[in-house]
Amino acid sequence: MNKWKVAFFALAGTVLFAILLVVFLATRPVDGVNVAKSSAGESESKGNVLVVQTTTKELESISKKYLKDAAKGSPLPLDFTIGNDIQLRSTLTAFYTEVPISMNFEPIVDDKGNIILKQTRMNVGLLKIPPETTMKIMRDSVEFPSWITVHPNEAEIYIDLSRINIASGSRVRAKELDLPNDKILLEIIVPGE
């Protein structure tokens, strides 16, 4: 056989082998990467979903900004910090005296991606006041944005993240709030075309 024919078939075989190798490697699954299955809630939301992981301090800063913007410049008579739990602090004026109030809440993510703050502890100076009474006073005296609802009888605050407007019609949904481990996962749904 002619050496040029042998070289041609060797080169053609090498090219064919290289093409098959590239196709094989391109279609092979990658180790360590899990492809997320879409849940029923994700199919309801139209748009692209971005998963964002943040820390408690970053979430606290973002939350304070959105509350300040929602209050439209009027000072909010309460402050909060996010650590191992969420602590709300305010003062209550009783008989011309400022009484400090602090309430601790455990955040729970509901099946719609909204947040329920379940009250775990409360301090009202040295007074013994039922949590329902304090939450009623807070509900009546603080003008919360429309996406925050106080439920005094259940001792909880409901934060409807789906009603918060973000730039260009995007929405936020909570995925995981693990405050003791400083792991917070949020989904940002950006409208599709």
Torsion-angle region of 26 (φ positive above 0: left; ψ -120 to 50: alpha; else: beta): alpha
The predicted pLDDT at position 123 comes to: 77
Who wins on pLDDT, 57 or 170?
57
- Condensed to tens digits (0 to 9), the pLDDT of residues 20-58 reads 766 666 556 544 434 334 344 444 556 778 788 778 888
Q: Name the pTM for this structure.
A: 0.66
Task: Report the sign of the C-alpha dihedral through residues 14, 20, 23, 26, in that order.
Answer: negative
- Condensed to tens digits (0 to 9), the pLDDT of residues 60-114 reads 887 777 777 666 655 556 777 888 888 888 776 667 777 777 888 888 888 888 8
C-alpha to C-alpha distance for 191 and 18, rounded to whole angstroms = 41
- Condensed to tens digits (0 to 9), the pLDDT of residues 174-192 reads 888 888 888 888 888 887 7
Angle, vertex CA 77, rays to CA 60 and CA 176, nearest 5: 25
Measured CA distances, 100 to 93, 125, 133, 141, 142 (Å): 9, 5, 15, 15, 15
C-alpha to C-alpha distance for 72 and 192, rounded to whole angstroms = 30
* Tokens of residue 102, six digits: 């602090």
The predicted pLDDT at position 105 comes to: 85
